[in-house]
Amino acid sequence: MLKNNVGGLDRAARVIAGLVLLGLFFAYPEASWRYLALIGVIPLFTGLFGTCPLYSLFGLSTCPVKKA
């Protein structure tokens, strides 16, 4: 399983951005660009699950450091 590497503020921003983009998809049914808004699924899922494959690839993390 993937390790959590997305912190709280980052997760909230991703979920909000994903919902806004998906909302645009449903709000403008006649727009030619509306299918580009489906990219909102990616930040929504990474925010909900707390893990980002690109962060893992580059060794990044926005999670707070756990004290031993």
31-40 residue pLDDT tens: 999 999 999 9
DSSP state of 64: P
As a whole number, the mean pLDDT across the chain is: 92
For the segment 1-39, what is each residue's pLDDT rounded down to a tens digit?
A: 778 999 999 999 999 999 999 999 999 999 999 999 999
DSSP state of 63: S
Q: What are phi and psi of 63, to 5 degrees?
A: -75, 145
Count of other CB atoms within 10 angstroms of residue 44: 19
**Chain center to CA of 22:** 12
Place of tokens 């979920």: 15
Helical packing angle, 8-27 and 41-49, nearest 10°? 150
